[in-house]
Structure 1
Amino acid sequence: MRRADRLIKIVHFLRGRRRAVTARQIADEFEICTRTVYRDIQDLIGSGAPISGEAGVGYLIDKQYYLPPVTFDADELEALGLGISMVRHWTDQRLADKAESAFAKIQAVLPAILQGELEQITTYSIPDQPALPWTISFSDLRESIRAQRKIDIRYTDEAGHETSRTLRPLALIFCSPVWLLAAWCEQRGAFRNFRLDRMQSLTVSATRFAHESDKNLTAYKAQDGVC
């Protein structure tokens, strides 16, 4: 267990006890030595945790003290950092900015004992091949999915044939380096996948599509075996 994770768990451990907890009890709970407990307690006090007590007597924490409701362990922060790196390289600037904004909000509410973990993130995403460019708006496409609005596209297939389609957009799927739109195609009366880099134009309709059990994302996943 990383030390930052252990410090958070010690806080929760103390908050869950009505009486003073000895260093030996904490050491047994977390399988560490008492010397490490003393050091951890001092660091928690230094970071602002209202812990009272002393070695040989036991420790109590003010029950009104709580960690922010959004707390993460080191591995979770690593996963978030990797996700933001991937969003930055494989989506559009608008979504990348939103990912950075979300990470800044998380950073702002992290307890002091986890702030250092953000500076030690060592997992990154770097494209090993150029992303296939698209000309349509990635963000408009995302919003049409969220708002359940039909879209009209001009699409060029693998053979170079161009067609016009009216779609019910359901999900965006990343198959590096290709982005696919999973959709219900009105012309074909079936689910189809469309590559974003082959879309020549995109128009978001004012028409919303209703939720229909045989044409929604759940049905698409069941048909294609998507988890």
Structure 2
Amino acid sequence: MRRADRLIKLVHFMRSRHRAITAQQIADEFSICTRTVYRDIQDLMDSGTPIVGEAGVGYMIDKQFYLPPITFDADELEAIGLGISMVRQWTDEKFAQKANEAFAKIQAVLPANLQGELQQITAYAIPSRPVLPWSVSFSDLREFIRKQQKIHINYIDEKEKTTSRDVRPLSLFFFSPVWVLATWCEKRQDFRNFRIDRIQSLTGLDEFFKDEEGKDLNTLILRETGAPLCDFNK
């Protein structure tokens, strides 16, 4: 990998992480030595990239920092096109519209020699089963998760039993054709998953939460997969 390409990928890698990341973790990700990591980080900082931290502790990047538009190769466009297709097919109209807008922005900045690649995508996401109807808003759920706002839900389980819960919404997971809301349940004091097609109603509460060890998404992912969230997101 060219060094210039690695520096760009390093910035994207750091922006995708919610916590400080060590030089060793970066070295493992890019198959380089820590000495090279220190040099790359210093060069990025010298060029004005807003990175804070130090060797032996960890590094973080200002999430408001954006790189200028870059180009994509054919396979990267293929991956982006497939992801957009999945959003169109398996989420709601509001999120699908955002996917269309993102696609238009990508198309607008592509050089002429790559414009044709968007018309030659070979992989698509087509529903193999009927999309399950929802009574609640998919986009509202995403917003509650993003804002870390507690919600109250009324839920019907597989035995047709109705329950009401106050939960911390942590993430949405897709198991075709089912979307599942992963939460920390205040009633059970444990993690609970709820199929969103079985949520009858939801209301945002006037209470917000912060990541709390033992109750956060990282703990849930570690419990379910045996791997930390940073590995899960790779």
Counterpart CA distance in 1 for 2:122 and 2:210 is: 44
Match of 2:103 in 1: 103
Contact 1:71–1:110, Cα closer than 8 Å, also in 2: yes
More displaced stretch, 121-130 vs 192-201: 121-130
Counterpart CA distance in 2 for 1:205 and 1:104 is: 36
**Residue 125 of structure 2 is aligned to residue 125 of structure 1:** yes
**Residue 176 of structure 2 is aligned to residue 176 of structure 1:** yes
Match of 1:157 in 2: 157
SS in 2 for 1:119: helix
Q: CA deviation at 1:69?
A: 3.4
Match of 1:60 in 2: none
Give the residue type in structure 1 aligned to 2:136: I
Counterpart CA distance in 2 for 1:120 and 1:130 is: 27
TM-score for both structures, normalised by structure 2: 0.67
TM-score for both structures, normalised by structure 1: 0.69
Contact 1:180–1:194, Cα closer than 8 Å, also in 2: yes
Match of 2:28 in 1: none
The unaligned stretches of length 5 or more in structure 2 are 6-67
Give the residue type in structure 2 aligned to 1:138: F
Contact 1:165–1:186, Cα closer than 8 Å, also in 2: yes
**Residue 205 of structure 2 is aligned to residue 205 of structure 1:** yes
**Residue 94 of structure 2 is aligned to residue 86 of structure 1:** no
Contact 1:152–1:164, Cα closer than 8 Å, also in 2: yes
Deviation string 1:153-206 (CA, Å, 9 cap, x unpaired) is: 001111111010001000000000100001000000000110001101010122
Off by >6 Å, runs of 4+ in structure 1: none
Q: CA deviation at 1:128?
A: 1.2
Counterpart CA distance in 2 for 1:138 and 1:204 is: 13
Figure out how many residues of one structure are paired with residues of the other and give that number: 162
Counterpart CA distance in 2 for 1:199 and 1:219 is: 24
Counterpart CA distance in 2 for 1:69 and 1:196 is: 36
Match of 1:112 in 2: 112
Match of 1:167 in 2: 167
Match of 1:52 in 2: none
Greater relative contact order (Cα < 8 A, sep 6+): 1
Give the residue type in structure 1 aligned to 2:125: S
Match of 2:143 in 1: 143
SS in 2 for 1:130: coil
Contact 1:78–1:121, Cα closer than 8 Å, also in 2: yes
Q: CA deviation at 1:122?
A: 2.2
Counterpart CA distance in 2 for 1:206 and 1:105 is: 36
Counterpart CA distance in 2 for 1:70 and 1:182 is: 34
Counterpart CA distance in 2 for 1:106 and 1:85 is: 14
Contact 1:140–1:204, Cα closer than 8 Å, also in 2: no
The unaligned stretches of length 5 or more in structure 1 are 1-8, 13-67
Match of 1:221 in 2: 221
Root mean square deviation, CA, Å: 1.6
Counterpart CA distance in 2 for 1:87 and 1:202 is: 23
Deviation string 1:3-52 (CA, Å, 9 cap, x unpaired) is: xxxxxx9xx9xxxxxxxxxxxxxxxxxxxxxxxxxxxxxxxxxxxxxxxx
Give the residue type in structure 2 aligned to 1:77: L
